[in-house]
């Protein structure tokens, strides 16, 4: 099973996941790339619920890397950003804000398509 993964882009055209990933060291980026490949292959054993639809993929390495995401339907994962265990509280707060914005934008799009 292949899972489609998308990176969320805000209404201001910001991609917080890409910004975070691009600032990682080579070692960290490699760990995150492997985690992303595992998610694409359908391996969700390291995904834990946080709040409603918000989840985190945990990478138990170094300071504990986290990737924040939501499932949209059965196959779409929207990556919201990432961080480490040390900054987890602030990262989760930010991911919740992005999740809520995503939900509002999706709802408005559906409403506009209906008519």
**DSSP for residue 45:** T
Q: Please report the pLDDT score of residue 75 as a whole number.
A: 74
Q: Are 76 and 6 in contact (CB under 8 A)?
A: yes
Determine the Cα–Cα distance for residues 78 and 12; give it in Å rounded to an integer. 17
Count the Cβ atoms, other than its own, within 10 Å of residue 106.
12
- The overall longest dimension of the chain from CA atoms, in Å, is 50
Decide which of 3.30.70, 3.40.50, 3.30.2310, 1.10.8 is the CATH code for 4-114. 3.30.2310
Q: Please report the pLDDT score of residue 7 as a whole number.
A: 95
- pLDDT tens, N- to C-terminus, the chain (115 residues): 789 999 999 999 999 999 999 999 999 999 999 999 999 999 999 999 999 999 999 999 888 999 999 999 877 889 999 999 999 999 999 999 999 999 999 999 888 887 6
User: Side-chain half-sphere of 39: how many Cα atoms within 13 Å?
Assistant: 28
Domain assignments of the chain as residue spans, ordered by start: 4-114
């Amino acid at each position: 099973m292949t899972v489609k993964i998308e990176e969320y882009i805000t209404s201001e055209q910001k991609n917080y996941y890409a910004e975070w990933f691009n600032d990682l060291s080579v070692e960290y980026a490699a760990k995150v790339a492997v985690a992303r490949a595992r998610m694409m292959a359908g391996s969700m054993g390291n995904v834990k619920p946080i709040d409603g639809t918000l989840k985190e993929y945990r990478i138990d390495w170094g300071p504990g890397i986290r990737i924040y995401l939501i499932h949209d339907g059965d196959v779409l994962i929207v990556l919201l950003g990432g961080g480490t265990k040390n900054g987890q509280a602030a990262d989760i707060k930010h991911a919740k804000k992005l999740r809520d914005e995503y939900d509002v934008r999706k709802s408005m799009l559906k409403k506009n398509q209906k008519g």
